[in-house]
């Protein structure tokens, strides 16, 4: 099952945090980011896909070192639709931040400097998608199927964040 299917399952499950409002907020933020950078939404979605690859690697490291709770705690702390440089710094060293920007620039044609400037918003957006599967009752409770699916992906280098963003846009009608 793809990550968007997991997200839709969270939206439909009242025991999880996912909601149409959350998806709409994410899509609106991506559209605003697209407008502010003068790029089309599909380019920003591609950037989010690259960022998602690096977020997954970082969260896997945290999971391997400190368990599932650590990965969920990072998601809970930094998920959002507002810029948060601390989110970027908590997941990526300065060298990795440059690597993310370079990789995204190569894939999208967007300037690496622009990508580095939007990282403080891109990372919380990716984490916001992942938070949709968290328990609505207890943020720290285990069993976030969206995060689990994301971390257990096959490692083919193709994180479904860009695809999920595209589907979310269609789903909420934007």
> What is the distance between the alpha carbons of residues 159 and 51, in angstroms, rounded to a whole number?
9
Q: Which pLDDT score, from 0 to 100, does residue 20 have?
A: 85
CA 61 to each of CA 87, 152, 162: distance values in angstroms, whole numbers, following the listed order? 16, 12, 22
- 135 forms beta bridges with 16
In tens digits, the chain (174 residues) has pLDDT values of 477 777 888 888 888 888 888 888 988 999 999 999 999 989 999 999 999 999 999 999 999 999 888 899 999 999 999 999 999 999 999 999 999 999 999 999 999 999 999 999 999 999 998 998 888 876 555 578 888 888 876 555 444 676 666 666 766 665
Q: Which pLDDT score, from 0 to 100, does residue 104 have?
A: 96
The contacts of residue 75 (CB under 8 Å, 6+ apart) are 59, 127, 130, 131, 134, 144, 147
Torsion region of 67: left, alpha or beta (phi above 0 gives left; psi -120 to 50 gives alpha):
left
Euclidean distance between the first and final Cα of the chain, in Å? Answer: 24
Length of the chain: 174
> What is the distance between the alpha carbons of residues 63 and 148, in angstroms, rounded to a whole number?
10
pTM assigned to the model: 0.86
Q: Which pLDDT score, from 0 to 100, does residue 118 have?
A: 95
Q: Which pLDDT score, from 0 to 100, does residue 147 have?
A: 86
Q: Which pLDDT score, from 0 to 100, does residue 4 have?
A: 74
């Amino acid at each position: 099952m793809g990550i968007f299917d997991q997200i839709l399952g969270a939206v439909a499950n009242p025991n999880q945090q996912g909601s149409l409002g959350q998806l709409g907020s994410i899509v609106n933020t991506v559209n605003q980011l697209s407008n502010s950078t003068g790029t089309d939404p599909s380019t920003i979605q591609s950037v989010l896909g690259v960022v998602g690859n690096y977020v997954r690697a970082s969260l896997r490291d945290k999971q391997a070192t400190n368990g599932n709770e650590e990965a969920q705690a990072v998601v809970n702390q930094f998920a959002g639709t507002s810029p948060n440089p601390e989110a970027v710094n908590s997941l990526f060293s300065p060298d990795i931040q440059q690597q993310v920007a370079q990789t995204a620039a190569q894939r999208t044609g967007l300037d690496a400097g622009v990508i580095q400037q939007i990282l403080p918003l891109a990372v919380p957006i990716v984490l916001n998608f992942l938070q949709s599967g968290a328990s609505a009752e207890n943020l720290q409770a285990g069993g976030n199927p969206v995060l689990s699916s994301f971390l257990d992906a096959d490692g083919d280098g193709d994180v479904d964040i860009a695809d999920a963003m595209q589907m979310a846009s269609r789903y909420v009608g934007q």
